[in-house]
């Protein structure tokens, strides 16, 4: 069975600085997708970034980028120029590329932004 592990329950970063959130996963599949979701206090799940396993190039969305290390099964999220609005829970997630549609989430990392 696939698992997703986030080893940092909480992190803090100074506003305008860069922070990296860690995530490792375990799977025997070769075709899959990885995601980072943001959950602010409103509890709405917001997709931040998505990575297809077959793509070697790391995904980037504005200030958000990932470091996808397929062999090491590592998928970290880097947030550049941190803003107060980035404060939230961040969940790393996995979905199989096959017929199994369910998304498997890590336990999350709570990110605090220090003004």
Partner 1 sequence: NAGVMQNPRHLVRRRGQEARLRCSPMKGHSHVYWYRQLPEEGLKFMVYLQKENIIDESGMPKERFSAEFPKEGPSILRIQQVVRGDSAAYFCASSLRLAGAYEQYFGPGTRLTVT
Positions that interact with partner 1 (CB under 8 A): 4, 33, 42-45, 47, 50, 91, 93, 95, 100-108
Give the shortest CB-115-to-partner 1 separation in angstroms.
25
Nearest approach, Cβ of residue 109 and partner 1 (Å) = 10
Helices vs. strands in the chain: H and E counts, helices first:
0, 12
CB of 108 to partner 1, least distance (A): 5
Assign residue 70 a region: left if phi > 0, alpha if psi is -120 to 50, beta otherwise? alpha
Output 99 or 115, the one with its CB closest to partner 1. Answer: 99
Q: Is 16 helix (H, G, I), strand (E, B) or coil?
A: coil
In whole angstroms, how close is the CB of 82 to partner 1 at the nearest point? 22
For partner 1, give the closer residue by CB, 1 or 71: 1
Q: Which is nearer to partner 1, 74 or 105 (CB)?
A: 105
The angle at the Cα of 89, spanning 63 to 75, to the nearest 5 degrees, equals 60
Nearer to partner 1, 27 or 71 (CB): 27
Give the CB-side neighbour count of residue 95, counting CA atoms within 13 A.
13
């Amino acid at each position: 069975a696939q698992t997703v592990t986030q080893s940092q329950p909480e992190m803090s970063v100074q506003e305008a600085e860069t922070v990296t959130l860690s995530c490792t996963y375990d799977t025997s599949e070769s075709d899959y997708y990885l995601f980072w979701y943001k959950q602010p206090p409103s509890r709405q799940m917001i997709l931040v970034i998505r990575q297809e396993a077959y793509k070697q190039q790391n995904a980037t969305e504005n200030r958000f980028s990932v470091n996808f290390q397929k062999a090491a099964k590592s998928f970290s999220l880097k947030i550049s120029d941190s803003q107060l609005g980035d404060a939230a829970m961040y969940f790393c997630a996995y979905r199989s590329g096959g017929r199994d549609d369910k998304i498997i989430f890590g336990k999350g990392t709570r990110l605090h932004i220090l003004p």
